[in-house]
Chains A and B, each alone.
Chain A
Amino acid sequence: MTTGTKYKTAPLKCWQKGKELRLEAYRDLATGHEQGKLLVLGCAATPYGMLAGLGDFVFLAGEPYGASVAADPPVSIPAMETYEAKGYARDMCGYMRNFLGTMFQDKYYFTGGPFPKFDFAWSVRHCPAGHPKWHQIVSEYQGIPMNYIDDETMLAIDGDQEARIEYVAGQYLDSIEWMEKITKRKYDDEKGIEAMRNYFINEALWGEINLLNGAIPAPIDIKSMFALMPISMLRRHEKVAIEFLTELRDELKDRIGSNIAAVPNERYRMCMLTPPPWSFLKVFRYLENFGVVFVGTYVYLINSGEVKFLYDEGKVVPATPPEKRPGWKTMKNREDLCRTVARWRAEHPFQSHLDTRKKEYVIMFKHWKANAYLLLINRGCVPMTTSMYDFQRDLNKQGIPTAMFEGNFADCRDIDETGVLDRLETFLEGQGIQKIQEI
């Protein structure tokens, strides 16, 4: 066993406020509909700030809801069994199985009461393997209208990107008309624009917060980030999120200035590409006993966050909200709004093509001053896993060590916790990292 430098540490000052805001978000998800707010279903990457043009709303993003259920095995297991009893396959999206399971059970995770009926489903179609089908099943089951935006421009490297932006912007415009029709509400362009401005700022702030973990010692650990992420993920359209994320960012800067560490024993830094196994978050705490700090995961840098990659320089910097970028227009009406959102989505690293993404992984590894990547072969998500071996080979070629384990990020029955720990301990031993002796 080995010992090493011990940094000073301190709890986050804004932690309590973060918890309260997170609770508010969950409370809103639980009771907002009863208070007359529109309840809309979609996936988390949807620019749901646009919904503000219709008035007050609650956006239930299916993935974080599925993750919340997945993190609670006594709820998750019966939910997934209910889903499977309906004849759906076990190898589909883990988030979706938890979500649909609780819907079929008529149990809403956040209240324990009946599962809410959505006013409509409106989403970007970011997962070709299943998210539109997921919403389709809800739409059929609840008898609610559904519309989606086809915007996976990330897959295209050939051809006319401007044509695709026009197509995506046009779908947003059409969907506003569609929403007006089905809700019988008039769309207020200014409110939609204002909420999306907040949305852009919050994405940039969350991205910047992620980047601050390039400091040694890391001012915040990944598990704490996951705990605060619902604010950026669920409340991106709100000013209150800007205030909180600004406060968090400033506090992290102060911690960096004062050398305050998230993990006092920090001596080995790891990062990830994917979401974590939600029912097994304790893995991060366990590995702290080895002095391992997880400094970030790529997926949440670019999903609910935004950064700007400077590929030629091999660097990453905080993103600028679209209207402040050279050559971008100030949004004045819904046409501007739809065009801005479409172009913003098209240029967002969330849309990066496979080959570009490989470059981004290396840039982030260097930025985070990491020692290794932890790769999850995720049986619960095809798009995130399809090319994982290719990514691993590419990272290894560049001298980046990778630890890999297989399991399901949202099905606790499909992850071997002991096996994962054994693999990781073996990997760390190979890296010369042993458990730190408790004094």
Chain B
Amino acid sequence: MGAIEKFQEVLATRHQYAQDWKKKHNGKVIGWLCSYSPVEIMYASGMLPVRILGSHEVQDVTDRYLFPTVCPFSRDALAQGLKGRYNYLDGITMARTCSHVQGTYDNWKNYVPTPFKYYIWQPNHVQSPRAIPLMVREYKGFIAALEKFTGKKITDEALNKAIELYNKNRRLMKQVYEFRKQEVPPITGAECMEMVVASQLMDLAEHNKLLEELLKELPNRKLDRNHGLRLMMIGSEMDDIVFVRMMEELGCTVVIDEHCTGSRYFWDEVKLEKDPLTDIAARYVNRWVCPAVSAEFKPRFDRVLEHAKNWKVQGALVYQQKFCDPHEFDIPHLIKMFKENNIPTLVLEFDVTIPFGQFRTRIEAFLEMLELELV
């Protein structure tokens, strides 16, 4: 089984993977909501950090808890907890970002029987010089709670090891992303998404080995497909691999992304400058910013445009998890920016499930329009 197939397998059997890991390591698993959660600290505690994701199935369990205009991802994630699919979790945490996923956490805390629960008060004024010192103090509280729960001390050595592991993972995934710059990318957008999402579900020691295998394989990898037009995907949470696969079958390749399950999650490394905790804090304060945290367009938009240009995108799919206000605010400004840079955009609104037929038609029309413009 190749690395990509292994990523696909983990995604398909994510709950079994985590439970097997628990047995094998006699360890604990901690679920996290929102990509601002400091996975390095969780890993250093000896626990397996696992991102809580939805299942993209119709469900009827969250409406009693969350109003239907809460974003579909937040509702879908809560549904998994309410249905008992994460009953193996020993803990759950989230870092303060948006009020939708806050609703998921609050209801999970009250209605899903997960033993350890910890809320990290992520400073959201990321431009303030006071954010990093506060983040350090917040992390100290988190560490104390984890130590009490696991009975294991989180040493600087353990933190450094976790930083090293996660930084390596980030570097390796960026190397894979570099291959997507090729005129004929040897990896599809869906496969890349599988790789990045798997990194949020797996033990990174294992994930890194698979990445190394993949990096050996990619220089000679030839895909039997029409790579078509080069697209960028931009938005909030996105793990709908079935959708991306469908899109890429229509004559395009997603060559770069900007969302919190993709590049925005892993792009920035922890810079080793001070003590490990301060370095981790600096990473999460200064990372590729989510619109729910930043009150400035520029830091996010500059990076989006830089990536769009570096990966030579011909069009951008701006998708919106329905009712996600912070991203909705950015969309008209993003479209304007792309237009000014001659990059056409298509905006799609996602719910827990999506209208595949309608989306397919719209994407086909978008691709046809792009092809006409390119002639």
Q: Assess whether A88 is in contact with B100, with CB atoms less than 8 Å apart.
A: no
Q: Does A347 sit within 8 A of B, measured CB to CB?
A: no
7 cross-chain CB contacts under 8 A = A125-B125, A133-B325, A155-B121, A158-B141, A160-B137, A160-B140, A167-B128
Complex CA distance for A200 and B97, rounded to whole angstroms: 29
Q: Does A135 sit within 8 A of B, measured CB to CB?
A: yes
Which one, B100, B121, B130, B335, contacts A159 given CB within 8 A?
B121
Q: Does B70 sit within 8 A of A, measured CB to CB?
A: yes
Chain A residues within an 8 Å CB radius of B332: 86-88
Chain A residues within an 8 Å CB radius of B97: 128
Chain A residues within an 8 Å CB radius of B131: 167
Contacts A383-B99, A386-B100 given; does A129 touch B118 at CB 8 Å: no
Digit string of B310-330 for contact with A (CB within 8 Å is 1, else 0)?
000000000000110110111
Contacts A388-B67, A389-B65 given; does A133 touch B291 at CB 8 Å: yes
Which one, B98, B107, B142, B328, contacts A387 given CB within 8 A?
B107
| B residues at A contact (CB < 8 Å) | 63-67, 69-70, 96-100, 102-103, 106-107, 110, 118-121, 123-125, 128-131, 133-134, 137-138, 140-142, 145, 291-292, 295-297, 322-323, 325-326, 328-333, 335
Q: Assess whether A159 is in contact with B106, with CB atoms less than 8 Å apart.
A: no
Assuming A87-B332, A160-B138, what are 6 further A-B pairs, CB within 8 angstroms? Answer: A128-B124, A158-B121, A174-B130, A382-B99, A386-B100, A390-B106
- In the complex, how many residue pairs between chain A and chain B have their CB atoms under 8 Å apart? 148
Q: Assess whether B329 is in contact with A386, with CB atoms less than 8 Å apart.
A: no
Complex CA distance for A148 and B296, rounded to whole angstroms: 11
Task: Please give the distance in Å from B316's CB to the nearest CB on chain A.
Answer: 15
Q: Assess whether B329 is in contact with A387, with CB atoms less than 8 Å apart.
A: no
Task: Please give the distance in Å from B21's CB to the nearest CB on chain A.
Answer: 26
Q: Assess whether A125 is in contact with B295, with CB atoms less than 8 Å apart.
A: yes
Q: Assess whether A386 is in contact with B102, with CB atoms less than 8 Å apart.
A: yes
Which one, A91, A135, A152, A153, contacts B323 given CB within 8 A?
A91
Complex CA distance for A170 and B134, rounded to whole angstroms: 11
| A residues at B contact (CB < 8 Å) | 86-89, 91-93, 125, 127-130, 132-137, 140, 146, 148-150, 152-153, 155-160, 163-164, 166-167, 170-171, 174, 354-355, 377, 379, 382-383, 385-390, 393
Nearest B residue to A377 via CB reads B67
Chain A residues within an 8 Å CB radius of B330: 133
Which one, B110, B133, B331, contacts A355 given CB within 8 A?
B110
Q: Assess whether B140 is in contact with A128, with CB atoms less than 8 Å apart.
A: no
Complex CA distance for A91 and B321, rounded to whole angstroms: 12
Q: Assess whether A93 is in contact with B128, with CB atoms less than 8 Å apart.
A: no
Q: Assess whether A133 is in contact with B326, with CB atoms less than 8 Å apart.
A: yes
Q: Assess whether A136 is in contact with B296, with CB atoms less than 8 Å apart.
A: yes
Task: Please give the distance in Å from B7's CB to the nearest CB on chain A.
Answer: 33
Task: Please give the distance in Å from B72's CB to the nearest CB on chain A.
Answer: 13
Q: Assess whether A163 is in contact with B134, with CB atoms less than 8 Å apart.
A: yes
Chain A residues within an 8 Å CB radius of B323: 91, 382
Q: Assess whether A129 is in contact with B119, with CB atoms less than 8 Å apart.
A: no
Nearest A residue to B330 via CB reads A133
Q: Assess whether B121 is in contact with A87, with CB atoms less than 8 Å apart.
A: no
Chain B residues within an 8 Å CB radius of A390: 65, 106-107, 110
Which one, B63, B65, B67, B119, contacts A155 given CB within 8 A?
B119
Q: Assess whether B99 is in contact with A127, with CB atoms less than 8 Å apart.
A: yes
Contacts A86-B332, A92-B328 given; does A386 touch B67 at CB 8 Å: yes
Which one, A133, A354, A385, contacts B67 given CB within 8 A?
A385
Contacts A128-B98, A130-B325 given; does A150 touch B124 at CB 8 Å: yes
Which one, B129, B141, B331, contacts A160 given CB within 8 A?
B141
Task: Please give the distance in Å from B150's CB to the nearest CB on chain A.
Answer: 16
Q: Assess whether B329 is in contact with A136, with CB atoms less than 8 Å apart.
A: yes
Contacts A129-B326, A133-B329 given; does A386 touch B119 at CB 8 Å: no
Complex CA distance for A279 and B130, rounded to whole angstroms: 42
Chain B residues within an 8 Å CB radius of A167: 123, 128, 130-131, 133-134
Chain B residues within an 8 Å CB radius of A155: 96, 102, 119, 121
Q: Assess whether A129 is in contact with B66, with CB atoms less than 8 Å apart.
A: no
Q: Assess whether B121 is in contact with A386, with CB atoms less than 8 Å apart.
A: no
Which one, B64, B130, B292, contacts A389 given CB within 8 A?
B64
Chain B residues within an 8 Å CB radius of A383: 99
Q: Return the 4 tightest CB-CB contacts between A and B, nearest first.
A: A87-B332, A159-B141, A150-B125, A132-B295
Contacts A140-B297, A155-B96, A383-B99 given; does A92 touch B325 at CB 8 Å: yes
Chain A residues within an 8 Å CB radius of B129: 174
Q: Assess whether B119 is in contact with A157, with CB atoms less than 8 Å apart.
A: yes
Chain B residues within an 8 Å CB radius of A387: 65-66, 103, 106-107
Complex CA distance for A290 and B364, rounded to whole angstroms: 58
Which one, B64, B128, B138, contacts A163 given CB within 8 A?
B138
Task: Please give the distance in Å from A294's CB to the nearest CB on chain B.
Answer: 23
Chain A residues within an 8 Å CB radius of B106: 354, 387, 390
Q: Assess whether A171 is in contact with B125, with CB atoms less than 8 Å apart.
A: yes
Q: Assess whether B99 is in contact with A159, with CB atoms less than 8 Å apart.
A: no
Task: Please give the distance in Å from A212's CB to the nearest CB on chain B.
Answer: 33
Complex CA distance for A284 and B142, rounded to whole angstroms: 47
Task: Please give the distance in Å from B258's CB to the nearest CB on chain A.
Answer: 18
Nearest A residue to B326 via CB reads A133
Q: Assess whether A150 is in contact with B99, with CB atoms less than 8 Å apart.
A: no
Complex CA distance for A30 and B131, rounded to whole angstroms: 37
Q: Assess whether A150 is in contact with B123, with CB atoms less than 8 Å apart.
A: yes
Contacts A87-B331, A158-B119 given; does A128 touch B125 at CB 8 Å: no
Q: Assess whether B325 is in contact with A158, with CB atoms less than 8 Å apart.
A: no
Chain B residues within an 8 Å CB radius of A134: 329
Q: Assess whether A156 is in contact with B96, with CB atoms less than 8 Å apart.
A: yes
Complex CA distance for A354 and B323, rounded to whole angstroms: 21
